[in-house]
Structure 1
């Protein structure tokens, strides 16, 4: 029986600080060069050398201003501020690579679907079908204020809006242009057949549209769909829409229950369990030997910022941790922020009563994820264990010191995984990201997916004439 091949994304952000805060101060770190295209193209080439499946670009709209009642700590520590648009660096990275995919985060709460659909189609064209969309609904009041609202929309209402939004973009991507609408016939002076381009009409509870999609069909039409919500409402959304789901990866047993729940809910929507690839977040510090790895870890932690990490976590939960004493129990408070983060510190947490000290103790490298530290063999053992015990398909590898942490993984861990037969020796030759993840011939959404239900089919009438109907 063939061994399951591990999938890998490099988890990054078009910013100085991402998840492991403070490491930009390390003398070998180059993340402050995030405004330089060479920084990104070099990274893409390194990751493609390591046969990574994708570069997943997180994003946030707004600033973290909950901790101490303002943004001072995030600004001082560069906690995801300043931050640039993740989509604009993708074409440059695609130009210097042939296989690696690009997952782009975009907040649908603040993006008009008509223009967003064009942007993603454009990226799918420019990458030759290697783009994905990480669907987020946001969780920061600062973002809402930046968009002219008094406060953010409630958590479940954001997902209700998201369902309606998805119907709009599915119709634009899947329904507006027929596959053979564009002919580029110079002699006949016909670029597109008007009768094969259709107006999309949608009148939903949140969005209305009456328009033709601005882009011709791209290789994948709908980008590969990523999602990371792990609240009950978020999991339902993922089970219906997502093709790749990201989970926190704090605990194998807990992760397994989340994975099983996601797959079961996907089945309830008429999908197969393996229609969703599930990635666990992980931070790795690797050295040629266990001792070398431990020494590197101790070196890194001298530059990490626990305060930056707790400022980040304060905005994720909507709870100002500066108001708590070190050993004061943290009360569960319902907020409209990231529900999975809030639930992690509730009284129902498997870790027992949470305190500020407990949160800080987790942040050895400035983020809440406990790093995996060891030799290539030890790292490989842990990754394989996660695949087998937690049921995930792969990992979102979080950066530490840039680009060193990704270079170390490519040079040390990837060969060990390949030697064990649990990681690909080369890329699938199929051109699109969806095919590389799910198999050749599957460049577009499968028929059982919610988005495919909006496709325009062109059955043949009984007299042989072509007739057009909406799916």
Structure 2
């Protein structure tokens, strides 16, 4: 029987997330992103369809990265305005029962001690349904918003992330031993002081004494995600993440990326299967191929090329708006566009991709157009290539999710590619089928009981 796919609703608490320009359409509620009911209605749609989670992306800065300014980002709402993903996740806990809720938080934006307590609180309130997408941030403005002149160098950001993760692991796993909470009403003893510990962390960036102020939550450590595509990012994911978000250009490309990352996983002392690979995708569904193609053409007419190129400029770190739009991409020395070029060439044999085409390819990357049956056929190929799930992004809110939930999910369920019911337990238990806590191969596990013999006077 086929391995079922993890299904995430991939959103951003903003006007425009990925498919820029579509917020102008009459059949989308993207301009109502500030209204909680927009998101409550969405999570109810996802939970009814037995999606695994809502994943809320986030950014914490906007650079003048396109045409030498930030004007396009502001005018076309390219991920600004944007609200805090963690606040949205907190607000949706009471509207869901089984849906995982994954927030994004950067090492830049919150001290690890405060962040650890916030996550424990959310994990308690949700009965163990919280995930954390750990990001290092790539924007100079993000760094400038938190006291830096510019973003720190790439590999240094991941060393910073290593220490950040180390601090929160110590707080979540090491500060409170098993059995620390007694809740003895007769004896007037809620917790055992001998089983609660300082962590005495002193590193390059942080000095944290502890203890963790929250008692252990159902998962202790939230389900951990990471999306870095660089060598340092993949290595970090192999050491720390339980899910990694990828945007491969084809099933074969996904297979290569998964095999490579699994080698890093083994080098880190973990096993293939400890890390789930979640591919980013979007869908245009029709009752016939002709209807689906017609809907896709209508969406393409409303896509903003400037918005897409602005987004891509920020991600690539090169201002595409300063280049001749008719210049062949092959003439440019731009790192990171090879996959985009291959996608264009596959879809347009014999046509030389030019700068203006990069936005079109970016919009269509991971986009599947077809009937529920043909979409399921394509997803079977991706599943056979090794992906564990998909991040479903949207052209219309909530319309894209409604189409997928009502038309594609039943076909996936029929083929064993989507779950029909939720498994019991926490977010981690639902995805991995084991216990609620990180397994013994995860680096957080080394702090279980690690501070039990630490000298109490070392304060």
Report the TM-score range of the alignment, normalised by the length of the smaller protein: over 0.9
Q: Which residue of 2 aligns with 1:456?
A: 449
Q: CA, structure 1 residues 303+285, in 2 after alignment: closer, same or farther (shift >3 Å)?
A: same
Structure 1 residue 266: deviation in Å? 0.6
Q: CA, structure 1 residues 368+350, in 2 after alignment: closer, same or farther (shift >3 Å)?
A: closer
Alignment partner for residue 375 of structure 2, among 374, 379, 385?
379
> Are 1:376 and 1:412, in contact at CA under 8 Å, matched by a contact in 2?
yes
Q: Which residue of 2 aligns with 1:131?
A: 130
**Matches of 1:350 and 1:380, distance apart in 2:** 21
Which stretch shifts more, 227-236 or 190-199?
190-199
Structure 1 residue 211: deviation in Å? 1.7
Q: Which residue of 2 aligns with 1:465?
A: none
What TM-score results when the alignment is normalised by the length of structure 1?
0.91
Q: Which residue of 2 aligns with 1:447?
A: 440
**Matches of 1:20 and 1:249, distance apart in 2:** 17
Q: Which residue of 1 aligns with 2:149?
A: 150
SS in 2 for 1:179: coil
**Matches of 2:298 and 2:328, distance apart in 1:** 32
Q: How does 1:77-96 map to 2 (within 5 A)?
A: 77-96=76-95
Q: Post-superposition, which runs of at least 4 consecutive aligned residues in structure 1 deviate over 6 A?
A: 346-354
Matched, 1:420 2:421: no
> Are 1:279 and 1:393, in contact at CA under 8 Å, matched by a contact in 2?
yes
Output one character per residue of 1:91-122: Cα deviation in whole Å (capped at 9) or x when no partner.
33221221110111100133211111111111
**Matches of 2:263 and 2:174, distance apart in 1:** 29
Q: How does 1:374-413 map to 2 (within 5 A)?
A: 374-388=370-384, 390-413=385-408
Q: CA, structure 1 residues 368+109, in 2 after alignment: closer, same or farther (shift >3 Å)?
A: farther
**Matches of 2:7 and 2:60, distance apart in 1:** 26
Q: CA, structure 1 residues 361+350, in 2 after alignment: closer, same or farther (shift >3 Å)?
A: closer
**Matches of 1:415 and 1:454, distance apart in 2:** 43
Q: Which residue of 2 aligns with 1:67?
A: 66
Output one character per residue of 1:307-347: Cα deviation in whole Å (capped at 9) or x when no partner.
101111111111111111123255336xxxxxxxx423599
Q: CA, structure 1 residues 349+379, in 2 after alignment: closer, same or farther (shift >3 Å)?
A: closer
**Matches of 1:130 and 1:116, distance apart in 2:** 16
**Matches of 2:37 and 2:366, distance apart in 1:** 31
Matched, 1:435 2:429: yes
**Matches of 2:120 and 2:337, distance apart in 1:** 37
Which stretch shifts more, 403-412 or 182-191?
182-191
Output one character per residue of 1:227-272: Cα deviation in whole Å (capped at 9) or x when no partner.
1101111111010001001111222222211110111111111111
**Matches of 2:408 and 2:113, distance apart in 1:** 43
Matched, 1:283 2:282: yes
Structure 1 residue 188: deviation in Å? 2.5
**Matches of 2:221 and 2:129, distance apart in 1:** 11
SS in 1 for 2:249: coil
Q: How does 1:290-309 map to 2 (within 5 A)?
A: 290-309=289-308
Q: CA, structure 1 residues 450+412, in 2 after alignment: closer, same or farther (shift >3 Å)?
A: same
Output one character per residue of 1:191-215: Cα deviation in whole Å (capped at 9) or x when no partner.
2222211111112223221121121
Q: Which residue of 1 aligns with 2:348?
A: none
Q: CA, structure 1 residues 396+321, in 2 after alignment: closer, same or farther (shift >3 Å)?
A: same
- In structure 2, list runs of 5 or more residues that go unmatched: 346-351, 455-459
Matched, 1:332 2:327: no
**Matches of 2:369 and 2:341, distance apart in 1:** 29
Structure 1 residue 351: deviation in Å? 7.1
- In structure 1, list runs of 5 or more residues that go unmatched: 334-341, 459-467
Q: Which residue of 2 aligns with 1:209?
A: 208
Structure 1 residue 90: deviation in Å? 1.7
**Matches of 2:37 and 2:340, distance apart in 1:** 47
What TM-score results when the alignment is normalised by the length of structure 2?
0.93
> Are 2:53 and 2:99, in contact at CA under 8 Å, matched by a contact in 1?
yes
**Matches of 2:338 and 2:3, distance apart in 1:** 34
Q: Which residue of 1 aligns with 2:260?
A: 261
Q: How does 1:287-366 map to 2 (within 5 A)?
A: 287-329=286-328, 331-332=332-333, 342-345=335-338, 355-363=354-362
SS in 1 for 2:102: strand
Q: Which residue of 2 aligns with 1:174?
A: 173
Q: CA, structure 1 residues 172+370, in 2 after alignment: closer, same or farther (shift >3 Å)?
A: closer
Structure 1 residue 65: deviation in Å? 2.1
**Matches of 2:342 and 2:361, distance apart in 1:** 15
**Matches of 1:54 and 1:345, distance apart in 2:** 31
> Are 2:63 and 2:140, in contact at CA under 8 Å, matched by a contact in 1?
no
> Are 2:57 and 2:103, in contact at CA under 8 Å, matched by a contact in 1?
yes
Tell me how large the CA RMSD over aligned residues is.
Answer: 2.0
